A = this chain, B = another copy of it.
Amino acid sequence: MLKKEKIPKVTIQRMAVYLQMLEELEEEGEEVVSSTRLAELCGVNSSQIRKDLAYFGEFGVRGVGYYVRDLIASIKHFLGIQKVWNCAIVGIGNLGRAILRYKDLSKKGYKIVGAFDCDPFKIGERVGDLEIICTRRLKEKAKDLNIKIGIITTPPNRAQRAANHIVEAGIKAIVNFAPTRIQVPDDVIVDYVDFSTHLIYLSFSLSNLGK
């Protein structure tokens, strides 16, 4: 039963995990999978999977399970990743370059179509098949290149300025890799990717083993 409740962020995140695992299963030639088996592989509870899927519709067959290929297609469809999303990177340091060279992104439907930096020494340099462009030209380029997602990989003290350029360009979604919070209007979605947050979680857990 499809509901129009709002879907929790954690559900979407788990969806991405299920999708990843389903694609591995498909590669291994599996045609059908039960929620129990998928749950084991993903390290979650099986009714969690069924509940998550129920937000979007009914995809399984009772007594059988889920057809892997079909479920992949359905998930991609309702997550909005059957199409290609054009992205811009702002801040071409080590991390920015690593992302630019990361081939899997295009396989997954994300294409980096613009590389921006405000350092005059970098502007004009080629990285892969892109030329680094001045961040001030982001607004003008965003339209031409149909950019929908901005990726911030600047140092923390430049992140807010990068965010401002992205917002001004009319882009409504940002992934921020800079280890700092940014302020944006309510209609812009920001997602934070912070390596040190993950390390902190681990060191806390290690410090508290057995407590």
A interface residues, Cβ below 8 angstroms from B:
4, 9, 12-13, 15-17, 19-21, 24, 41-43, 79-81, 85, 87, 94-95, 97-99, 101-102, 104-105, 108-110, 148-149, 172-175, 179-181, 189, 191, 193-209, 211
Contact = CB atoms under 8 A, between A and B. Distances in A.
Given A148-B206, A202-B189, A209-B172, A197 B99 contact: no
Contacts of A20: 179-181, 194
Most buried by B among A95, A101, A198: A198
A199 B180 contact: no
6 contacts: A13-B197, A81-B203, A95-B102, A148-B206, A173-B202, A193-B198
A104 B196 contact: yes
A109 B206 CA distance: 14
Given A94-B98, A203-B79, A198 B181 contact: no
A123 to B, nearest CB: 21
A16 B172 contact: no
Contact of A80 (B174, B194, B204): B204
Contact of A180 (B24, B175, B209): B24
Nearest to A105: B196
A187 to B, nearest CB: 8
A17 to B, nearest CB: 7
A199 B172 CA distance: 13
Contact of A79 (B15, B19, B87, B204): B204
A13 B13 CA distance: 16
Nearest to A191: B198
Contacts of A181: 17, 20-21, 41-43
Contacts of A202: 149, 173-175, 189, 191
